[in-house]
């Protein structure tokens, strides 16, 4: 079958998925069924933290697909993640209904505060979950498609492309900071109550979101594996290594790039949509260029062009960040910078490259 074929020879991926499966099944049980006094109890805080890491891991996989296999160093993938997050946030805002501070049955609090009389047109439909879920995938996908179409058609590559992806996320950040945009401005969207009728504060919902994030990561990983093991994946690597040669043997390089780039953006959107209900807030800070750079570091640390390396890198760096920022809050950025320099110098192929024998590409 497709899945078996996609994982053939991918020992790292097999191990990663097996561990993920065990963790996904065991953690909710330890959280919900084991009493809090027990040594084995896993706190809801930890469950949510793990769920958040898993959405980061999915985001890292999306970045590795375009960076590792297609050679596009995107420094703007945080934008697609944030857009997916905003789509979910809009749905969660509308679920609040009249339980907001101002008690308006339709308008979210920030709109009442701004003295708006009616819902902006682009908020229509977001009271339906399916619509919001679709938008969480489509909006990043369409943006990436249009952006990619223009950039790749003009044959913008390398560092220039990286710079304009960075500009893209920065421009979106500035736009979303503005109150007139209708996305809550500076404060973003928060105070969520329910998702599909489930109370977001309850342990059960938290565990459910954690499991959904794990499932999304597994499916996203398998989809990426299917792409990279297909002929299209080999064409992508060919483009990465010798773009003009690929063009001369008859492939429309721009179309391959834009298709994979848009798919990657959609994965990032899914990750963002799962991230927001777990952290309880989405604001323009998620578009910050620094976020997009950080996630490239996760992939570099884990090892490019392995996919499972991206998962490992995202989990390790974020675990490190959580513990490190608790101890030395000021020093984290220095630590992150040092980590990037050290990995580049000492482990150019990341943690995955340092693990025993494995075929590249």
Partner 1 sequence: MGGQVERWQYLNPGKTLAETLDISHTTLLYVEGVTVSFDGFRALNDLSFYVDVGELRCVIGPNGAGKTTMMDVITGKTRPDAGYVFFGQSINLLELDEPRIAQAGIGRKFQKPTVFEQHQVYENLELAMAGDKRVWPTLTARLSGAQRDRIDEVLGIIGLRDHAWRPAGALSHGQKQWLEIGMLLMQDPLLLLVDEPVAGMTHQEMDRTAELLLSLEGKHSVVVVEHDMDFVRSIAKRVTVLHQGSVLAEGSMDEVQHDPRVVEVYLGE
Give the residue, chosen from 20, 235, 266, 270, that forms a contact with partner 1 under the rule CB under 8 A: 235
Q: Are 78 and 309 in contact, with CB atoms under 8 Å apart? A: no
Find tokens 């160093």 and name the residue: 73
Helix 289-302, helix 44-68: angle, nearest 10: 80
Give the residue, chosen from 87, 172, 189, 237, that forms a contact with partner 1 under the rule CB under 8 A: 237
Residue 255 engages partner 1 in binding (rule: CB under 8 A): yes
Helix 253-279, helix 129-153: angle, nearest 10: 140
Give the residue, chosen from 114, 245, 348, 354, that forms a contact with partner 1 under the rule CB under 8 A: 245
Residue 361 engages partner 1 in binding (rule: CB under 8 A): yes
Residue 329 engages partner 1 in binding (rule: CB under 8 A): no
Residue 238 engages partner 1 in binding (rule: CB under 8 A): yes
How many C-alpha atoms does 70 have within 13 Å on its Cβ side?
Answer: 31
Counts for the chain of helices (H) and strands (E), in that order: 15, 4
Q: Are 285 and 89 in contact, with CB atoms under 8 Å apart? A: no
Cβ proximity to partner 1: between 99 and 245 the closer is 245
Give the residue among 285, 307, 178, 159 at the shortest CA–CA distance from 233: 307
**Distance in Å from the first CA to the final CA of the chain:** 22
CB of 244 to partner 1, least distance (A): 8
Residue range at the interface with partner 1 (CB under 8 A); choices 50-58, 193-201, 232-240, 291-299: 232-240
CB of 110 to partner 1, least distance (A): 41
What x-and-dash track marks residues 126-155 binding partner 1 by CB under 8 A?
---------------------------x--
DSSP 306-328: -SHHHHHHHHHHHHHHHHHHHH-
Give the residue, chosen from 18, 40, 102, 241, that forms a contact with partner 1 under the rule CB under 8 A: 241
Cβ proximity to partner 1: between 185 and 353 the closer is 353
Number of residues forming the site for partner 1 (CB under 8 A):
26
Give 194's strand partners.
Answer: 199
Cβ proximity to partner 1: between 251 and 324 the closer is 251
Residue 247 engages partner 1 in binding (rule: CB under 8 A): yes
Cβ proximity to partner 1: between 26 and 360 the closer is 360
* DSSP E strand boundaries for 149-246: 189-190, 194-195, 198-199
Give Cα 56 distance to the centre of its chain. Answer: 5
Cβ proximity to partner 1: between 68 and 76 the closer is 68
Give the residue among 348, 304, 353 at the shortest CA–CA distance from 73: 304
Q: Where are the alpha helices (DSSP H) in 102-128?
A: 109-113
Cβ proximity to partner 1: between 4 and 249 the closer is 249
Give the residue, chosen from 23, 164, 259, 347, that forms a contact with partner 1 under the rule CB under 8 A: 259
Cβ proximity to partner 1: between 71 and 289 the closer is 71
Task: State how far the alpha carbon of 264 is from the alpha carbons of 3, 37, 67, 302, in Å.
Answer: 19, 43, 10, 18
Residue 242 engages partner 1 in binding (rule: CB under 8 A): yes
CB of 319 to partner 1, least distance (A): 32
Give the residue, chosen from 113, 198, 251, 332, that forms a contact with partner 1 under the rule CB under 8 A: 251
Residue 256 engages partner 1 in binding (rule: CB under 8 A): yes
State how far the Cα of 158 lies from the Cα of 175, in Å rounded to an integer. Answer: 26
Q: Which residues from 189-228 bind partner 1, rule CB under 8 A?
A: 227
Residue 232 engages partner 1 in binding (rule: CB under 8 A): yes
Dihedral of the CA atoms 107, 113, 115, 118 (nearest 10)?
A: -10
Taking CA 147 as the corner, what is the angle to CA 146 and CA 152, rounded to the nearest 5 degrees? 105
Residue range at the interface with partner 1 (CB under 8 A); choices 23-31, 94-102, 105-113, 254-262: 254-262
Q: Can you give the binding site for partner 1, defined by CB under 8 A?
A: 153, 227, 230-232, 234-235, 237-238, 241-242, 244-253, 255-256, 259, 360-361
């Amino acid at each position: 079958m497709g899945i078996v074929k996609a994982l053939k020879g991918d020992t790292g991926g097999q191990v990663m998925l097996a561990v993920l499966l065990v963790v996904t099944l065991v953690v909710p049980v330890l959280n919900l069924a084991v009493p809090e006094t027990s040594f084995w109890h896993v706190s809801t805080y930890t469950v949510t933290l793990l769920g958040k890491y898993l959405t980061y891991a999915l985001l890292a996989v999306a970045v590795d697909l375009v960076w590792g296999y297609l050679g596009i160093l995107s420094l703007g993938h945080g934008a697609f993640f944030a857009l997916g997050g905003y789509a979910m946030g809009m749905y969660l805002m509308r679920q609040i209904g009249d339980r907001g501070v101002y008690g308006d049955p339709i308008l979210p609090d920030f709109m009442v505060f701004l003295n708006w009389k009616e819902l902006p047109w682009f908020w229509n439909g977001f009271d339906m979950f399916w619509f919001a879920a679709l938008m969480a995938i489509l909006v990043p996908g369409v943006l990436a498609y249009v952006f990619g179409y223009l950039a790749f058609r003009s044959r913008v590559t390398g560092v220039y492309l990286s710079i304009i992806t960075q500009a893209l996320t920065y421009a979106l950040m500035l736009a979303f900071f503005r109150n007139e945009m209708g996305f809550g401005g500076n404060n973003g969207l928060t105070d969520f109550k329910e998702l599909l009728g489930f109370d977001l504060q309850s342990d059960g919902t938290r565990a459910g979101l954690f499991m959904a994030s794990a499932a999304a990561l597994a499916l996203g990983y398998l989809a990426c594996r299917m792409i990279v093991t297909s002929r299209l994946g080999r064409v992508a690597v060919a483009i990465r290594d010798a773009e003009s040669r690929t063009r001369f043997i008859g492939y429309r390089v721009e179309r391959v790039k834009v298709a994979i780039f848009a798919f990657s953006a959609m994965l990032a959107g899914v990750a963002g949509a799962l991230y927001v209900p777990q952290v309880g807030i989405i604001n323009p800070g998620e578009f910050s260029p620094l976020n997009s750079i950080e996630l490239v570091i996760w992939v570099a640390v884990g090892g490019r062009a392995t996919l499972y390396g991206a998962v490992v890198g995202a989990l390790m760096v974020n675990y490190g960040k959580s513990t490190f920022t608790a101890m030395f809050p000021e020093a984290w950025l220095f630590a992150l910078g040092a980590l990037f320099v050290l990995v580049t110098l000492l482990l150019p192929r990341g943690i995955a490259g340092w693990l025993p024998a494995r075929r590249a590409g």
